Amino acid sequence: MVTKAALATTALLAAGLIALSACGGGGSSAPSSDAPPAAPAALQTQMVKVIKDLSPSVVQIQCGNALGSGVVFDSQGDVVTNAHVLNGASSCSVTLSGGDKHSARIVGSSVGNDLAVVRLSGATPPAATFAESNNVQVGDFVLAMGNPLGLRSSVTQGIISSLDRNVAESSTVELSALIQTSAEINPGNSGGALVDLAGEVIGIPTLTAVDPEFGNMQAPGIGFAIPSDTVRQVANKLIAGA
């Protein structure tokens, strides 16, 4: 497994070599090649691996007319998502990354944390690994995986922009200690996975900032996710109380 530290070190070394090549004087010129530099190629390879490995653990959830995403939490078929994705429904359907659809019952919901758990019937897709979000740093590369606008298994990329953001989700719910990311989070991404380059879930994408000066349109590149430490704690309580 390629660690974040190893990738960062490789990238810095590559950047230094590129700078020296651009500023240096004599010596033979480097042979031309269509291949990308080693560090970007390694980063791309790791991103592709993360997406391939984690995709089976990221599902689409439909509750009534509401569409969202979810992440397989354990080997029992429990799926964690946002409470607002449930949309007041008593049951949901879940579509796996391969297209198979299954019914799911609601295990529990915590509106104040905007988290919920549903349990799949007839399938136990692989569970994702949830990282310790207190180790996340601003500048870390991340991927947002989900089903925006019903487009199953879509991925965007960005960085961790800030930590410990408090954001009002509604007039009655304020979410605290959120992770801010530049990865695009669109309608339908709610409940999906914010993933680091080790392939571990560091948060659950929940909402996007809006700009009141432009009719409350979504502000691109300003999204928020519930930290995985909070997700684990709340999901375990909901499952234990079922």
Helices and strands, number each (H, E), in the chain: 4, 12
Give the start-to-end residue ranges of the domains of the chain: 55-126+235-240, 133-228
| Confidence at residue 33, expressed as pLDDT on a 0 to 100 scale | 56
Catalytic residues: 84, 114, 190
| Confidence at residue 241, expressed as pLDDT on a 0 to 100 scale | 87
| Confidence at residue 110, expressed as pLDDT on a 0 to 100 scale | 96
Tokens for 109? 């919901």
- Over residues 181-237, the pLDDT tens digits come to 999 998 899 999 999 999 999 999 999 887 777 777 777 889 999 999 999 999 999
Q: Give 63's DSSP letter.
A: E
Tokens for 212? 């009141």
Look at domain 133-228 and name its CATH class.
mainly beta
Instruction: Return the beta strands (E) in 18-90 as ranges.
Output: 58-63, 66-72, 78-81
Specify the pTM. 0.82
Cα gap 239→103, rounded to integer Å:
18
Classified by CATH at the fold level, domain 55-126+235-240 comes out as Thrombin, subunit H (2.40.10)
Question: What share of the chain in percent tops pLDDT 70?
Answer: 83
Q: Do 91 and 116 touch, CB atoms closer than 8 A? A: no
Residue 126 has pLDDT above 60, yes or no: yes
| Confidence at residue 150, expressed as pLDDT on a 0 to 100 scale | 84
Across the chain, mean pLDDT equals 85
Dihedral class, residue 10 (left if φ above 0, else alpha if ψ from -120 to 50, else beta): alpha
- Over residues 131-157, the pLDDT tens digits come to 999 999 999 999 999 999 888 889 999
Q: Do domains 55-126+235-240 and 133-228 have the same CATH topology?
A: yes
Residue 53 has pLDDT above 80, yes or no: yes
Residue 55, φ and ψ in degrees, nearest 5: -50, -40
